[in-house]
Amino acid sequence: MLLKNMKLAAVFIFILCGTVNAFALDEGGATAKQVVEKFQVDLIDVMKAGKKLGYAGRYDKLKDPVSNSHELTKIARIVVGKEWEKLSEEQQQKLVDVFSRLSIASYAHNFKDYSGESFVFDSEEETTRGGVVVHSHLVIPGDKPVKFDYMLKEKGNSWRIINIIANGVSDLALKRSEYTTILQREGFDVLISKINEKIDNYSKQ
């Protein structure tokens, strides 16, 4: 069952400021709801072919959907907090690259098969700081639904996911504390090594 394989946490904290009406469709762009729903459709499609694709196939299929719907650079910056400013440009880019791979790997690992699951839109709201929260849930036949709250900020003429809370759990909040501690106590190279180890573990499970 999918729920047993999931860790109910995939990503991202903090709603950043935005100023444009979240519910208006910009010319050539997409609303926050459309971005979330497109990603969910792509995710279900990968789940349906999950066993046939295998981990590597799921990872490959999810590269574009994750990159096109998530603000991965901002997320990587958030996850290390103030330590970001202490990194060189080369280190910052390396962190963005490895964290992006971790995000994709997490989806490829957690959404590995399909047994009739479906996403259902619940509601959408603007925040006081100009962001958007899209509320939905994942219906799992024979099990309790999983509630997802997607937090988005505007980027260009579209929107990007910066936080996903599953059943009230934000894995990135924990990662921020963990990663900052590693950077401060053990250094950048150790952090990158530990993230790569996590990605490797995902590929083997």
pLDDT digits (tens, 9 = 90+) for 112-133: 999 999 999 999 999 888 899 9
Domain boundary assignment for the chain: 2-20+28-204
pLDDT tens, residue by residue, 61-92: 999 999 999 999 999 998 999 999 999 999 99
| CA-closest candidate to residue 70, choices 177, 158, 141 | 158
Distance CA 121, CA 97 (A): 31
Whole-model pTM: value is 0.83
Q: How many CB atoms lie within 10 A of CB 128?
A: 6
In tens, the pLDDT along 10-25 reads: 333 333 333 333 444 4
What's the rounded mean pLDDT across residues 163-167?
Answer: 91
Helix pair angle (171-185, 72-79), 10° resolution = 60
Q: What's the CATH class of domain 2-20+28-204?
A: alpha beta
Distance (Å, whole) CA 16 – CA 39:
20
Q: What percent of the chain has pLDDT over 90?
A: 73
Question: What is the model's pLDDT at position 6?
Answer: 46
pLDDT at 155: 87
